[in-house]
Structure 1
Amino acid sequence: MTNGTQWRSWLDNDHWFNDLPASLQDSLLTGMRQRRFTPGKLIFQKGEPACGLYALLDGSLRFNDVNQQSKWLSPVVTARPYWFGEVSLFDDRPRLRDVFAADQLILLHMPQAPLDQLLKDQPRYWRYFGDLLKRKLGLGVPLPDQMTLLPTDERVAFRLVMLAQGYGDMDQSVRIISRVDLHSQRCLGLVPEVVDRVLEGFAERGLLRREHDFISELDIERLRKIAQHRLTLAGA
């Protein structure tokens, strides 16, 4: 049994993978490599450049600093495979989390360079990765070249939801984000003064709290409703 055949059997019950066109399935199976991690090993680090798409086949992840392991929450049980890393396709920022193995892990990994090339060669595949992110955010995801067509409030709300829930149910960390991470030319395309004005409005409505260089997201559901727009609804 070849790796591709074995991996296809592991992915056979995954709704997202099964909805992909056969050509995209084949490209992922050809480009992915199996990786194994022992407990506590770093998968990728906050601030590192985007490093591709992952499918968690076995084991659990942690989204905390390795020095804070005693404060980690219990791993969330979710369906396998669990896909993560696709946020970087819709972002121009480095990785936003430290991601570690909570126990013995088996992952499939599609590196960033071939993934970028695949989307360059086949732009029609963008929508499928948007569908993957949509499942985690609970709202439609516009294509990267449509992001800055959203109205200002929707753009900022979308970015806040992406930062808080881009790793879905697996990430149960506190919803406090850095203002530095908020700014993204691809997702926002707004000068800092405009972003600050929107944040001030959200704070007055009780959606978030601003504290020096950090933002506490207080009401994800209302931010998600603001982030809904005709562009994202059209892709729903």
Structure 2
Amino acid sequence: MRSLKEMLLASSWARELSENQLRSVIDGITVRTIPTGGYVCMKGEPVEYWMGVLDGLVKMASIWSTGKATSFLGLSTGGWFGEGSLLKDEPRKYDVIALRETRVAYMNRATFQWLHDNSIHFNRFLLIQLNERLGQFIGMMEHERLLDTDSRLARCLASLYNPVLYPESNLEIRISQEEIGLLAGISRQRVNQALRKLEDAGLLQIDYGSITILDLPGLRCFGE
């Protein structure tokens, strides 16, 4: 199990901090373990933290009072999220739910604001992160409207390997078909069919409890 400091040093913005600054940032972070199905944060609550996935897997989603739910994206080890809501200082617009037991780093508002006010590297990171996330959501809207289920699932998997948003991801991910279904918003049975099709196309290899990506560019453009 890796430490919070190890996670921070894997983030480009934290590597530029002095030892004293890094110590202050660590003091402003609380690590919590969220059980499978538990809420990392909830829609409508006040935004007091910036969050990072220390290890595990979560999904960003929205559950309406009618019971209808939609999944936006998956957030894997090394990914940070929630900066938009902090910068706008508004109630949270989405739920984040753990798909497996996950350790989450919660950076308090004061520490986030101190970094925002004092670190050029942190502000550059935020600019790149927000731009990358915007592109990700535009792509999701395009895929939802134009692609079939198999192609949407391919894009969903490929999105977990974004080197900007998830710098610690590798081409073998420990993920179940049930978790993929929760991320992509499709049934487990349909996930199995789509994965077999992608495996037959030579894009990935399915193992028990994990998937190895063999052709990431091919996965990103499957169905075009």
TM-score, normalised via structure 1 length: 0.47
- Which of the two has greater strand per residue? 2
TM-score, normalised via structure 2 length: 0.49
